[in-house]
Amino acid sequence: MYRENKIMLIGNTEECYCGSSKTFKSCCKGKAISSKAQPLGEDILSNPNRINHMLQQMLKATDFKICMHPDKEKCKMPIKNAHSLQNNGVLSLIAEKDHVMANDLLNKVRDGYSTKRVSKNDATTFYGFCEYHDSVVFQEIELKPYENNVKQNCLFAYRACAQEYHKKQREIKAIQNCFKDNPSLFLEDEFVMSYKLRKLALDDVNQTMDIFNNGINNDNYDIMENYVYEFDNQYDFAVTTTFCPAEDLIGKQLNDIYSTNPERLKAVFITVIPVVGKTYFIISCLKEDYSNLKSYFEQIENLNEDELKVFLNNVIPEYSENIVLSPRLWGEWTNFSKKEYEKMVTGEIGDFGEMLKGGLPYDSFDDFMRGMDIRNGKINVMQKPKYDLFKLKNI
Q: Which residues contact 208 (CB under 8 A, 6 or more apart)?
A: 161, 264, 267, 286
pLDDT digit string (tens) for 57-111?
676 788 889 999 988 889 998 998 888 888 878 989 999 999 999 987 555 545 5
8-state DSSP, 94: H
Alpha carbons 67 and 247: distance in angstroms, whole number: 33
Quick check: 264 and 207 in contact, CB under 8 A?
Answer: yes
DSSP 4-68: T-GGG---TTSBPTTSSSSBTTTTTHHHHHHT-SPPPPHHHHT-HHHHHHHHHHHHHHH------
The verdict on residue 1 lying in a domain is: no
Q: Is the peptide bond before 78 cis (omega within 30 degrees of 0)?
A: yes
The verdict on residue 81 lying in a domain is: yes
> CB-based burial of residue 152 (10 Å sphere; 0-12 exposed, 13-18 middle, 19+ buried)?
buried
Q: Which is nearest to 210 in space by CA: 267, 172, 293?
A: 267
The whole-model pTM stands at: 0.84
Alpha carbons 115 and 107: distance in angstroms, whole number: 7
The verdict on residue 388 lying in a domain is: no
Q: Which is nearest to 272 in space by CA: 237, 322, 301, 303?
A: 237
**How does residue 371 score in pLDDT terms, banded at 50, 70 and 90?**
very low
Residue 153 has pLDDT above 50, yes or no: yes
The verdict on residue 339 lying in a domain is: yes
Quick check: 389 and 329 in contact, CB under 8 A?
Answer: yes
The verdict on residue 153 lying in a domain is: yes
pLDDT of residue 356: 45
Rounded to an integer, the average pLDDT of 294-303 is: 96
Q: Which residues contact 387 (CB under 8 A, 6 or more apart)?
A: 313, 333, 337, 338, 340, 341
Its domain, for residue 38, covers 6-375
Quick check: 194 and 274 in contact, CB under 8 A?
Answer: no
**How does residue 365 score in pLDDT terms, banded at 50, 70 and 90?**
very low
pLDDT of residue 348: 43
Q: How many domains is the chain built from?
A: 1
Residue type, 294: K
The verdict on residue 390 lying in a domain is: no
Alpha helices in the chain (DSSP H): 29-34, 42-45, 48-62, 92-94, 105-111, 131-137, 139-142, 150-181, 189-217, 290-301, 305-319, 327-332, 335-346, 352-357, 365-372
pLDDT digit string (tens) for 10-57?
888 999 999 999 999 999 988 888 865 455 555 554 555 555 555 566
pLDDT of residue 321: 78
